Amino acid sequence: MFRDAVASVGEVGRSPARRDGSEKVTGRALYLDDIQFPGQWWGRTVRSRVAHGVIKSVRLDPAFDWRGIVCVTARDIPGENVVHLIEDDQPCLADGRVRHCEEPIALLASNDRERLEEAVEHVRVEIEALEPVLDPLKSSRVFKELLIERNVEALPAVFASADRVIEGTYLVGHQEQMYIEPNAVCATPGEDGAMTLHGSMQCPFYVHRALQRLLRLDERKIAVIQTVTGGGFGGKEEYPSMIACHAALLARKAGHPVKMVYRRDEDVAATTKRHPAIVKHKTAVARDGALLGCEIEIVMDGGAYCTLSPVVASRGVLHAGGAYRWPACRIAGRVVATHTPPNGAFRGFGVPQTIFAMEAQMERIAAELGIDPLKLRQKNAYVLGDQTPTGQTLNWSVAAQEVLDAAAARSQFAEKSARFSAAKNGRRRRGIGLSLALHGAGFTGAGEVKLKSRAGVELTARGARVLSSSTDIGQGTITIFAQMAADALGVSMDDVEVAAPDSSRLPDSGPTVASRTCMVVGGTIEKAARQMGRVLSAYAAGCYGVPEGSVSCRGGVFFDGSRALAPFATIAERYLRDLGELRVIEQYAQPPGIEWDEQNYRGDAYVCFGWAATAVEVTVDLDTGEVQVDRVVQACDVGKAIHPILCAGQIEGGVVQALGYALLEELVLKDGRVVNSRMQNYVIPTSLDAPAIEAILIENPYPHGPQGAKGLGELPMDGPAPAVAAAIFNATGALVPQLPITPERLLSMLEARK
């Protein structure tokens, strides 16, 4: 499974059983709804059924018995009626105008859950409907516009003189995260207006700051505690702020804890999704397959409010040229408003959309030039020293060629590609397709610097406790933090705890997003642990009267050179007794030489990139358009596999989620309202839909990453969809330029070609 494995001693590089695994397999892990909060009430949301309109009135049906039921509207908000994020344009409760179906208008709470359900139907909301804008191409409200240009003056000549100019337009739709645990929170009111919020979430501090603004509370009066979270994928990055604000308002008015657990259909219909996009490519190519220049135009649908759209668009635009060298290019993107539920973060965050388009375009180019798709990519893929469209020189950790070679070899791409495209008999056709993707790790540009993420460790009687607000949402944060801190301190993982994320007690390590948790936060924790190690070594040296410089801790024992001095626990206990607590919190520091110009979108967009090549084999049924995925091979360069099984888990999970994006998952809206908001109608892959996934881990270390590690959470999601399209192209000769590639779309295209 490995290439170029960096030899490691200790916990990093092993695959110990996950730290929170025992609770999860025994059913003891407490997700939000498993917890009975003393005196808890339940809360529900009254939502708009209309995509755009003016609220005329909100009335409680006088024929209904409202005793024991509390109602909250915008008037009850003590602070600002806003769910704080980037633009602060999204109200917590609609007041005056509604801008999307399912927009929250009123909230109800009661301790009688059955009556509460009835009560929701008895809130009479009168809305004067206005014409909604549902087509992003017709929207005039732009959340963000971006432009990346490289040698743009040369472009007209490049197009004029190129051997071929190839155009393509690609469409991708919404995707719903479909975490198996729906959004769930409980707000508990405390003394003097204080509020404690427990919930399923990725970013406790986002919620904390949102509650501050909404409730007009000092930050010390709020505590946000993440409970065991049953999946996030970005869907619990910013959305929990909204549900938390709702629960808090109800708790404040009711004087009781209020628990809100979304029904599945509510979660699908009302919460954030992946941004749909329309991507246009115009590519100038040489006869031999060299990419000479491109114009790429991207329009993303942000939905009704800004949420994270500017950042999604930014990342989408920055990855739109794919993993290829462009001598000249112009990449323009904009994300606009429509009267649909706001879109937001979903694993990949703009990259799956634009990489689908780029990779599908590469297939089109390969076919038009008569060049093998693997060779076309090998010819143009980045190598060390190349420059990206923003002018970033790729100085380290580039593995585009390596992942391509690995995936192609393992999948027997060349042989199968030829064999499958030659086989023209029968009603079922096999195909194989390839894609190449990259994913910038960490926040874009100066984002990490602005975040000022802090994390660290504190000394315990037998080891250390990791202090960070990064959350484990299944990807294994708790486990890798313990591994990394243990190695940095020189102790066993068993002696390292990881504190549960609580915004009132832990440093703000930034959000658990953007494939940053291991690289940025883990790296910062390592730094803090090493510093703690130095402090303890100096202390131990003092205790034993030996020179500081020769003392270090290995395998849980302090050594003076090669002479064992004392176990870690002995030194720790003594330190705590003599000097009190020892806490080391470090702040993330950007490596030297990283420069980003936010105004002109030029420079080093990301400190490093992850690389993935995906090979997908399919069988296409020509009678129905159904596509079965038979096998997936994905090779990912992760820099350093801190925990190989967890890494493989990210690859396998990301691949299957992307197969859903490619083939199955389509959100159907009618007049701005989601029509298929149940699991029965919005379908994700089952174990029978998913094939065996072969993950190949490649380690091309990032010199400033912890033990060389980069990011992996999102990378696996970027490549499979276009590889599926390429495989279907290989099987049938039809390149479907739209996701999902439903049987209907494929059959339609096949019929049209006859």
Partner 1 sequence: MILSGIQVNTVSTLAEAYALLAKSPPGLRVLAGGTDFMVQLNARTGVDSLGQVLDIWNLRELRGVECTDGLSIGALTTYSDLIRSPLVRELYPALCDVAREVGAWAIQNRGTLGGNVCNASPAGDTLPVLLAADARFVLGGPRGERVVPASEFFLGYRKTALAKDELFLRAELPLPSPRQRLVYRKVGTRRAQSISRTILAVRASPDGAVLSEVRVAAGCVAPIPIRCRVTESVLEGEGLDDRLVAAARNALNADIQPIGDVRGSAEYRRRASANVLEQLLRGLAGSA
Partner 2 sequence: MKLSLTVNGQPRSAEVPPLKRLLDVLREDLALTGTKEGCGEGECGACSVLLDGELVNSCLVPACQAAQAEVATIEGLCNPDGQPGPLQRTFLECGAAQCGICTPGMIVAAHCFLKTDEPASEQRIREALAGNLCRCTGYQKIVDAVRLEARAAR
Q: Rule CB under 8 A: which residues touch partner 1?
A: 114-115, 117-118, 265, 426-427, 622-626, 628, 664, 668, 675-676, 678, 680-681, 683, 685-689, 742-744, 747-748, 751
Asked if 239 and 101 count as a contact pair (C-beta separation under 8 A), the reply is no
User: Which residues 6+ apart lie within 8 Å of 687 measured at CB?
Assistant: none
Asked if 244 and 277 count as a contact pair (C-beta separation under 8 A), the reply is no
Select from partner 2, partner 1, none the partner in contact with residue 385, using the beta carbon and a kind-dependent cut-off of 5 to 8 Å: none
**Pair of tokens at residue 523:** 């790296």
Site for partner 2 in 683-742 (CB under 8 A): 684, 686-688, 690, 692-693
Q: Residue type for 245, please?
A: C
**Cα separation of 128 and 98, whole Å?**
10
Residue 687 Cβ, how far from partner 1 at the closest point, in Å?
8
- The window from 165-173, 467-475, 533-541, 734-742 that contacts partner 2 (CB under 8 A) reads 467-475
Select from partner 2, partner 1, none the partner in contact with residue 33, using the beta carbon and a kind-dependent cut-off of 5 to 8 Å: partner 2
The DSSP bridge pattern shows strands 596-597 and 583-587 to be: unpaired
Residue 426 Cβ, how far from partner 1 at the closest point, in Å?
8
**Cα separation of 589 and 605, whole Å?**
16
Select from partner 2, partner 1, none the partner in contact with residue 426, using the beta carbon and a kind-dependent cut-off of 5 to 8 Å: partner 1
Select from partner 1, partner 2, none the partner in contact with residue 676, using the beta carbon and a kind-dependent cut-off of 5 to 8 Å: partner 1
Residue length, the chain? 754
Q: Which of 473, 520, 620, 662 binds partner 2 (CB under 8 A)?
A: 473
**Cα separation of 459 and 496, whole Å?**
9
474 binds partner 2 (CB under 8 A): yes
Beta-carbon-side half-sphere exposure of residue 490 (alpha carbons within 13 Å): 20
678 binds partner 2 (CB under 8 A): yes
Select from partner 2, partner 1, none the partner in contact with residue 231, using the beta carbon and a kind-dependent cut-off of 5 to 8 Å: partner 2
What distances in angstroms separate CA 441 from CA 388, 607, 608, one per listed residue? 15, 7, 6
**x-or-dash string of contact with partner 2, 234-263, rule CB under 8 A:** -----------------------------x
- The window from 150-158, 292-300, 386-394, 654-662 that contacts partner 2 (CB under 8 A) reads 654-662
Residue 9 Cβ, how far from partner 2 at the closest point, in Å?
22
State the residue for tokens 């008999």: 425
| Distance, CA of 628 to chain centre | 26
Q: Which of 460, 679, 733, 738 binds partner 2 (CB under 8 A)?
A: 679
Nearer to partner 2, 232 or 445 (CB): 232
Q: Which of 90, 475, 537, 676 binds partner 2 (CB under 8 A)?
A: 475
Asked if 71 and 105 count as a contact pair (C-beta separation under 8 A), the reply is no
Q: In DSSP terms, which residues pair with 97 in a beta bridge?
A: 54
Asked if 78 and 300 count as a contact pair (C-beta separation under 8 A), the reply is no
Number of residues that bind partner 2 (CB under 8 A): 56
Q: Is 506 helix (H, G, I), strand (E, B) or coil?
A: coil
Q: Is the dihedral of CA 360, 365, 366, 368 positive or negative?
A: positive
**Cα separation of 442 and 635, whole Å?**
20
Q: What is the DSSP string of 686-732?
A: -TTTS-EEEEEEE----TTSGGG----SSHHHHSHHHHHHHHHHHHH
Residue 747 Cβ, how far from partner 1 at the closest point, in Å?
6
Q: Which of 13, 53, 168, 230 binds partner 2 (CB under 8 A)?
A: 230
**Cα separation of 204 and 467, whole Å?**
14
Residue 733 Cβ, how far from partner 1 at the closest point, in Å?
18
231 binds partner 2 (CB under 8 A): yes
**Cα separation of 367 and 132, whole Å?**
41
Q: Which of 168, 204, 350, 476 binds partner 2 (CB under 8 A)?
A: 476
Residue 630 Cβ, how far from partner 1 at the closest point, in Å?
12
Nearer to partner 2, 180 or 418 (CB): 180
**x-or-dash string of contact with partner 2, 3-22, rule CB under 8 A:** ------------x-xx-xxx
Site for partner 2 in 139-178 (CB under 8 A): 177-178
Residue 50 Cβ, how far from partner 1 at the closest point, in Å?
20
Whose CA is closest to 378, among 436, 304, 465? 436
**Pair of tokens at residue 346:** 């979903």
User: Which residues 6+ apart lie within 8 Å of 627 measured at CB?
Assistant: 618, 619, 620, 621, 663, 724, 728, 741, 743, 746
Nearer to partner 2, 130 or 645 (CB): 645
- The window from 533-541, 566-574, 651-659, 739-747 that contacts partner 2 (CB under 8 A) reads 651-659
Asked if 301 and 267 count as a contact pair (C-beta separation under 8 A), the reply is no
State the residue for tokens 């393509």: 168
Give the Cα-Cα-Cα angle 323, 309, 389 (nearest 5 degrees). Answer: 25
179 binds partner 2 (CB under 8 A): yes
30 binds partner 2 (CB under 8 A): yes
User: Which residues 6+ apart lie within 8 Å of 62 measured at CB?
Assistant: none
233 binds partner 2 (CB under 8 A): yes
Q: What is the DSSP string of 275-294?
A: PPEEEEEEEEE-TTS-EEEE
84 binds partner 2 (CB under 8 A): no
Nearer to partner 1, 265 or 372 (CB): 265
Select from partner 2, partner 1, none the partner in contact with residue 135, using the beta carbon and a kind-dependent cut-off of 5 to 8 Å: none
Nearer to partner 2, 229 or 435 (CB): 229
Residue 227 Cβ, how far from partner 2 at the closest point, in Å?
11
**Cα separation of 488 and 390, whole Å?**
36
**What is the binding site for partner 2 (CB under 8 A)?**
15, 17-18, 20-31, 33-34, 177-182, 228-233, 263-264, 473-476, 645-646, 648-649, 651-657, 678-680, 684, 686-688, 690, 692-693
